[in-house]
Chain A
Amino acid sequence: MERTAAAFSLPRIRFIRKRVTFLLSTFSVLLLVFAWWLVVRLHLVSPLFVPAPGAVWNAFISTAGEPYRGHTLLVHVGISLYRVIVAFIAALVVSIPLGLAIGRYWWLDALMQPLINFYRPLPPLAYYTLLVIWLGIGDASKVALLFLAAIPALVINTAAGVHAVRREMVNAALSLGADKWQVFLHVIFPATLPYVFTGIRIALAFTYTTLVAAELVAATSGIGWMVLDASRFLRSDIIFMGIIIMGVTGMVLDYIVVLLQHRFVPWLGKA
């Protein structure tokens, strides 16, 4: 009994589970690629519909090396990321103070509530058409679109974070001599950070999806546009490659946010 208990102590189980998780995840990816390869190999579908993994890899190598319709792959991805990041930072700068204020002042909540509730469920592409008319087909309309797409999740989560602050946290600060502004800065704002990060993850994923969709509708560059353009020439190898790049980029963006969350909210789930 003693030995079993020692061999399966909690940190040990966690360690083993991490290893197994990694192996299983790798396995599922490899299995998918293998199934894909097999389908093509056995000529189950036309390579026009599903290109071979090797063809997709070649498309990656060639577009990485030489420009595809003006830009290399890296530049197309970079253009897309640039649009997301500029718009997202602008959205953060506006949404977090707005969310904090909405969480704090009921009348501001009442004023903003109908506006946010109305435009939040709208598919961004619906008002994108308007933005293109107003701002043209270039970066301005896209950045504006992404900015608008990011705002609701950020504002709503930040405001929810303010509502969730424990009353005693505020009371403790007041009875230690903090004034209203200090309470806001040193207690309420840090206490909302876990919610803010939840909002950031949701909003970033949504913004990224919206970007690709917008590039599919109207653009002359970017990873989404690349896929759209390839479809006109039935280049399914480039379409596949583009989709994989989009997925991986989205995962990397999310992972960066998770890392930032560990850095800025180390107490999550512990206090």
Chain B
Amino acid sequence: MTSNPLSRKSETASTSGVTPAKRLVIDDVSFSYETRDGLVEALAKIALTIEPGEFICCVGPSGCGKTTLLHLIAGFLTPTTGTMTLGATPVRQPGPDRGVVFQQPTLYPWMTVADNVAFGPRMRHLPKEEQRRRVDHYLQLVGLQAFAQRAPYELSGGMQQRVAIARVLANDPTFLLMDEPFGALDALTRERLQEELLKIWRATRSAVFFITHSAEEAVFLATRVIVMSARPGRILLDRKVGFSRRVGMKPREIRADQEFIAVREEIIERIYSSEETP
């Protein structure tokens, strides 16, 4: 049992029963909410394929359907039309292969911070020793080991979000779905967690679907950036980027890189133009 997170994947895959990463195919999916005033079309004809190991960052104006798309992938919602398949099977319900970090942290106030992080491994009956190891490791990672025995409501909003991130990572998903996970954090913590997330992603080869409002964050993290239109959400731009694969370069250098800035500006421009569409 080593504490190196990079070697963890292979040793736990057998005990946890998590299936290897699969390709996600979203085929002309649209989604409408039923409200008192009739149907609200949130997503229109989304077609998107996500390969294992890809890091997708999704940006777009508020209310354009990003969270809706994430909840569809998570299996919380069912497409109104179109199909969604993960590997060979249609996505019908939530499962531990797709870990979700919600826009608002949804921790359980009746459990301590440590028990919240242990929740997934405990539900899946991993050995006690392994549960404890993961709790320690991921609380350390998000800088909250001192708060392990606290109640979640005794933490600030940003700290709660970090616990929620630790809780999902501790469950070892092959597909990470993150809804503006770093939105409530200070710049320093955010950059540190961005780099940690990249490390974990590189080590595990999981796929990531990451929603953000920051073009800078998107370009820094993603292998593909997706820009969505105002509601009903459609994909306006689907662009490959490669900065997160530059392992040798320091994060500071990447962010200051001319090419990085150019791509970032391109994305920002596309977001602005998407908001103008009525």
Contacts and interface: CB of A to CB of B under 8 A. Distances in A.
A235 to B, nearest CB: 51
B110 A193 contact: yes
Interface residues of B, number: 28
B272 interface: no
B41 to A, nearest CB: 21
Interface string A167-184: 111011111111100100
Nearest to B17: A177
A155 B100 CA distance: 33
A171 B94 contact: yes
B106 A175 contact: no
Contacts of B234: none
B33 interface: no
B256 interface: no
A187 interface: yes
Nearest to B110: A190
Contacts of B106: 166, 168-169, 171-172
B209 interface: no
A193 to B, nearest CB: 7
B108 to A, nearest CB: 7
A161 to B, nearest CB: 13
A28 B93 CA distance: 60
A176 B125 CA distance: 12
Nearest to B123: A178
Given A169-B108, A190-B110, A175 B95 contact: yes
Contacts of B94: 171, 174-175
A14 interface: no
Contacts of A173: 119, 123
A150 B75 CA distance: 40
B120 A177 contact: yes
Given A168-B106, A271-B152, A271-B153, 19 more contacts: A166-B106, A171-B71, A171-B94, A171-B100, A174-B94, A174-B95, A175-B75, A176-B99, A176-B119, A176-B120, A176-B167, A177-B95, A177-B96, A177-B120, A177-B123, A178-B119, A178-B123, A187-B108, A266-B151
Interface of A: 166-169, 171-179, 182, 186-187, 190-191, 193, 266-267, 270-271
23 contacts: A168-B106, A169-B108, A171-B71, A171-B74, A171-B76, A171-B100, A171-B106, A172-B102, A173-B119, A174-B94, A175-B75, A175-B76, A175-B100, A176-B119, A176-B167, A178-B119, A186-B119, A186-B123, A191-B110, A193-B110, A270-B109, A271-B152, A271-B153
